[in-house]
Structure 1
Amino acid sequence: MIIVGIILLLLGWLLGISVLYTIGIIAIVIGLVLLLLGFVGHPVAGRRHWF
């Protein structure tokens, strides 16, 4: 999720498409939240690990 967010962020910035830029930021934030929850051992949507 974080890598997809970075790619969308870069594409939005390079192409000047603000929607891609915004979606990239949102994807990065969601990816970081899921990563943080995984590190503390909190199950997300009934799963303890995301592979």
Structure 2
Amino acid sequence: MNFSNLLHWAAVFFIIALVAAFLGFGTIVGPSLEGAKFLFWAAIILAVISAVIGLVRKS
């Protein structure tokens, strides 16, 4: 699996949230930050699942 795409979008949403917070757009910060957190954790969970499956297949 390619998790770099998920992490890329997590970084994009995080940057959008930072810029929006700096400019004072409070209504944009919340959804962008939540999207970044969701994509980050999804990538971490999928990476762990992939690693476990890879270790099981080697045995």
TM-score bucket (shorter structure)? 0.5 to 0.7
Unmatched tracts of structure 1, length 5 or more: 43-51
Normalising by the residue count of structure 1, what TM-score does the alignment of the two structures yield? 0.61
Which is higher, the Rg of structure 1 or of structure 2? 2
Compare the two structures and name the one with the higher helix fraction: 2
Count of residues paired in the alignment? 42
CA RMSD of aligned residues (A): 1.6
Compare relative contact order (CA 8 Å, sep 6+) and give the higher one, 1 or 2.
2
Unmatched tracts of structure 2, length 5 or more: 1-8, 51-59
Misfit runs of 4+, over 4 Å: none
Percentage of pairs with the same residue: 14
